[in-house]
Amino acid sequence: MQGREMKAETDQLTSQLIASYSVGATVQTVLDRLFAKIRSEEYPLNARLPSERALASELGVARNTVREALDVLEARKVINRRPGSGSFVTYRSEEPERGESSVALETSPLDHLVVRGILEPEMVRLAVINMTPREVWELEQLMSKIESVHTDVVAFVKCEEEIYRKIAEGTHNRLLASCYNLAIEACRVSFRTTLLRRHLSPKRILEYQQRYNALFNAIASRDVERAVEFIKLHLVEEQKLFLQD
């Protein structure tokens, strides 16, 4: 509890630092909106922000206004701007439970894949057996959500996390779900988001959507064998993607 209170105080301090920065009213409005999106994880850790042109169009302001707001966010270490690459979120909107952060940060790509290979087949098996009709319906809504994403890699990865969390919850095994949440955290702060950002073309997004649709169909029909086989094949494809890099 104390850790969460300290985090809330840090968030408040960061907000105050940004709010007190000497800028015009329009720039301040842009700052507030961008920082709100970052804190809510609409732009999560390591995510690449839209271009200055895209942000200016979205927010209805001039590019110079967006540029000045980004200057403030960079000065306050909320983002990191890389010449030729764009602006990337460095601010952590949520801290994991004590001890989890260091484990996630220290997890190698290979270790992450090994843990997924251990957890996911059993997680899917238990989910097929234990998910309630309501949970299956909620998973179906998440599948519809991910199918609506065509080019936005950040949105796609976030939808993936929601799907896997729902499956983990559907096991009705709180310890297993907690372990898998740590695996998601390791994925978020390690290599995979960056890797997918380089490789997730619209065509590959479509392929992933088709895989997840097949997984959902297996879960909805309570076909344990097919669901487990699917997740094993999906993990093999993930390994191939990692080895290509």
Establish if 202 belongs to a structural domain. Answer: yes
Tell me: do 85 and 104 sit in the same domain. Answer: no
Tell me: do 192 and 227 sit in the same domain. Answer: yes
How far is it, in rounded angstroms, from Cα 124 to Cα 164? 9
Number of folded domains that form the chain: 2
Q: Is 1 helix (H, G, I), strand (E, B) or coil?
A: coil
| Strand 79-82 relative to strand 86-89, pairing | antiparallel
Q: Is 149 helix (H, G, I), strand (E, B) or coil?
A: coil
Q: Check the CA dihedral 171-172-175-177 and report its sign.
A: positive
Tell me: do 104 and 81 sit in the same domain. Answer: no
How far, in Å, are 23, 92, 100, 123, 226 from residue 33 at the CA level?
A: 14, 17, 29, 38, 45
Tell me: do 117 and 160 sit in the same domain. Answer: yes
What CATH code is carried by the domain that includes residue 26? 1.10.10.10
Establish if 95 belongs to a structural domain. Answer: no
pLDDT (tens, 9 = 90+) of the chain, 245 residues, equals 444 544 444 444 444 444 444 557 788 888 888 888 888 888 888 888 999 999 999 989 999 989 888 888 887 778 888 878 889 988 875 544 444 455 655 667 778 788 899 999 999 999 999 999 999 999 999 999 999 988 887 788 888 889 999 999 999 999 999 888 888 877 765 555 555 556 778 888 899 899 999 999 999 999 999 999 999 998 888 777 767 65
Residues in Cβ contact with 195 at an 8 Å cutoff, skipping those fewer than 6 apart: 241, 242, 245
Establish if 82 belongs to a structural domain. Answer: yes
Instruction: State which residues form the domain around 34.
Output: 2-89
pTM: 0.58
